[in-house]
């Protein structure tokens, strides 16, 4: 050993080698929710019906896990195409959750100097992925009622010429559906790709999927996560084959594992349960919004998702009070000035929602 060699420690190496913008980040922490009513992550609260469970078990038992998965996940794509009526004019790309697709799309378009634009507040992973891939991120504030500020969006598009625009439709964390005419104006004005992220489409009354043929720069992004399959991790993107062919080059060859592929095909072969659960969630949503809106000092915002944003007098106090009562929601206070004293509450089962309403009634007197 050479005594005079500078002493290398993992910390000194990290300080010298890791990109500074990554060093200043903290890793995404998932809140612990054991034994709690879990209303923080927009999950579907219902488990699988027994017949779907049986189909799933039989399908998984047949998977040859000694082999790599089908890299193209043909059966899954065929089943999604059939379900959604996606015509041959469009191509489908699958991801390990739509999170992975956001990463792939962003990295593919991150030419030096390229800009990503999104309204704010919106899904935080857009901005995070701009940072990961070295894209310059431009956020445009929503109005105080969470609607798109179209004038500001159009002038930012004109000024920044973004390669990539993300529009969550409906939006997370605000829950509302943006005005369709505003969306179309953005699609027409944008010189780059516009990703319409329809993670919550099952709870909304609108979609841009049928409008793909109108816009060469439109990609529709979706996920099975909010439909009761968050644990499987499957997202999909639908766009013109020219776009998908490029994104496909960035994809890991086996990004969707064999168990997930088999599970999805089995579960989508009879989808009655998916529609039933989504409609139960929509009915509970109406009840929860009405009940929260009746509490003194509480404003429940309109929602077309499986969660509701409520503004209370003191969000940290209500958040902690709920936690003490073993109910976990998301405290949005401090995320963005527009979200002052807001909580994001995922729609649970009727019993869970009853517990939440009773606890909020105690805490918001
Ligand atoms: N887009 C939006 C708007 C979301 O809210 C989420 C999940 N919170 C995602 C994408 C990612 O979903 P997943 O990776 O589970 O498909």
Query: What are the 10-residue block averages of pLDDT along the chain, 365 residues in total?
Result: 74 94 87 90 96 96 98 96 91 98 98 98 97 97 98 98 98 98 98 98 95 97 96 98 98 98 95 94 97 96 97 97 97 97 98 97 92
According to the 3-state scheme, what is the secondary structure of 304-316?
Answer: CCCEEEEECCCHH
Residue nearest to atom 7 of ligand 1 (CA): 199
> CA 264 to CA 281: how far, in whole Å?
21
How buried is 168 (Cβ within 10 angstroms: 0-12 exposed, 13-18 middle, 19+ buried)? buried
Going by the DSSP 8-state scheme, the letter that residue 26 receives in this structure is: -
> pLDDT value at position 1?
52
> pLDDT value at position 28?
80
> CA 312 to CA 193: how far, in whole Å?
37
Question: Is the peptide bond preceding residue 121 cis, with omega within 30 degrees of 0?
Answer: yes
Q: Which residue has the tokens 């709920």?
A: 322
pTM higher than 0.75:
yes
Mutate to test the pocket of ligand 1, among 223, 234, 346 (most ligand atoms within 8 A of CB): 223
> CA 350 to CA 329: how far, in whole Å?
16
- Is residue 164 within 8 A of residue 109, CB to CB? The reply is yes
Q: How far is the CA of 98 from the centre of ligand 1 (A)?
A: 6
> CA 357 to CA 291: how far, in whole Å?
7
Q: How far is the CA of 99 from the centre of ligand 1 (A)?
A: 6
Sequence-ordered list of residues with C-beta below 8 angstroms from that of 134, at least 6 positions apart, any chain: 110, 112
> pLDDT value at position 186?
98
Q: Which residue has the tokens 């766009």?
A: 239
Q: Which residues line ligand 1 (CB under 6 A)?
A: 42, 97-99, 123, 168, 172, 197, 199, 223, 225, 230, 235
Q: How far is the CA of 9 from the centre of ligand 1 (A)?
A: 38
């Amino acid at each position: 050993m050479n005594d005079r060699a500078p002493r290398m420690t993992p910390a000194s190496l990290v300080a010298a080698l890791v990109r500074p913008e990554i060093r200043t980040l903290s890793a995404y922490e998932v809140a612990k929710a054991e034994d709690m009513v879990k209303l923080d992550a927009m999950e579907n609260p219902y488990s699988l019906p027994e017949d779907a469970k049986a189909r799933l078990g039989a399908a998984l038992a047949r998977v040859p896990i000694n082999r790599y998965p089908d890299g193209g996940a043909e059966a899954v794509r065929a089943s999604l195409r059939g379900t959604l009526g996606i015509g041959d004019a469009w191509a489908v790309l699958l991801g390990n959750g739509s999170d992975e697709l956001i990463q792939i799309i962003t990295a593919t378009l991150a030419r030096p100097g390229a800009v990503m634009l999104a309204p704010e507040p919106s899904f935080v992973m857009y901005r995070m992925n701009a940072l990961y891939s070295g894209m310059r991120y431009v956020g445009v504030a929503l109005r105080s009622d969470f609607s798109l500020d179209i004038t500001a969006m159009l002038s930012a598009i004109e000024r920044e010429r973004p390669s990539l625009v993300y529009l969550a439709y409906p939006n997370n964390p605000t829950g509302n559906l943006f005005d369709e005419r505003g969306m179309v104006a953005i699609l027409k004005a944008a010189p780059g790709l516009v990703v319409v992220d329809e993670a919550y489409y099952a709870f909304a009354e609108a979609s841009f999927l049928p409008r793909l043929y109108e816009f060469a720069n439109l990609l529709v992004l979706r996920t099975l996560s909010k439909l009761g399959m968050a644990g499987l991790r499957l997202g999909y993107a639908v766009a013109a084959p020219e776009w998908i062919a490029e994104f496909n080059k960035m994809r890991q060859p086996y990004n969707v594992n064999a168990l997930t592929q088999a599970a999805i095909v089995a579960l989508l072969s009879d989808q009655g349960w998916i529609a039933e659960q989504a409609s139960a969630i929509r009915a509970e949503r109406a009840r929860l919004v009405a009940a929260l809106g009746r509490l003194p000092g509480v404003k429940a915002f309109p929602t077309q998702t499986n969660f509701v944003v409520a503004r209370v007098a003191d969000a940290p106090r209500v958040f902690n009070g709920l936690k003490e009562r073993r109910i976990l929601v998301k405290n949005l206070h401090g995320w963005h000035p527009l979200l002052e004293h807001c909580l994001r509450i995922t729609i649970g089962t009727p019993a869970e929602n009853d517990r939440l309403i009773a606890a909020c009634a105690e805490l918001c007197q």
